[in-house]
Amino acid sequence: MDFSSDYKNRADEIAALFEATFTASEGAREGQLIGTLARDLIAKTKDDDLFVFSSWDGDALTGCIMFSRLSFDQDERTVFVLAPVAVATARHGQGIGQKLLTFGLDALRAAGVDVAITYGDPNYYSKVGFAPITEEVAKAPLKLAHPEGWLGQSLTGGPLEPLKGSSRCVDALNSPDYW
């Protein structure tokens, strides 16, 4: 398996992976929603505000994760939120997601990112260092439908100290549909 951070020339393929994966697990409406999110993140987000990591088996895209900037108005730390995440349906259960997440989090550490946050299944994301957090630790940019899925981790080696102020996500993620 190879990992890549090249995404601009592969936007259609990446969006198709998200759409197919979420359609298979959550239905056509969710597949279209997340496919659109992936397209919008790639097309509308400044390069400095987006990390995209993908895994490949030869020419086959097996997984993709995206991290976009989450800004806190009273905090200087660099924070990125993980969303969305997809592993090709036929490749589930092979450890691709965890390896890809580990690769991505290591790349964020190397780039000087201080904190990673995600919104998902605590049982899954805890395997790569995420732990449940409250909005007292990190205020979500929009109302969380499932607050138990609000997760974070420090990438600096120290504890995750509360982030100060309200938060703002990138435009592509700024919709209640994703929160």
Query: Which CATH number is 47's domain given?
Result: 3.40.630.30
Residues of the chain with pLDDT under 50: none
Q: What is the pLDDT of residue 154?
A: 98
Q: What is the pLDDT of residue 1?
A: 86
**Contacts of 133 by beta carbon, 8 Å cutoff, 6+ apart:** 117, 150, 151, 152, 160
Q: Which domain holds residue 14?
A: 2-171
Domain assignment present for residue 177? The answer is no
Q: Where are the beta strands (DSSP E) in the chain?
A: 2-4, 50-57, 60-72, 79-87, 115-119, 131-132, 150-154, 167-169
Instruction: Provide the domain count of the chain.
Output: 1
Rounded distance between C-alpha atoms, residue 7 and residue 74, angstroms: 32
Single-letter code of the amino acid located at 79: V
Domain assignment present for residue 86? The answer is yes
Q: What is the pLDDT of residue 43?
A: 96
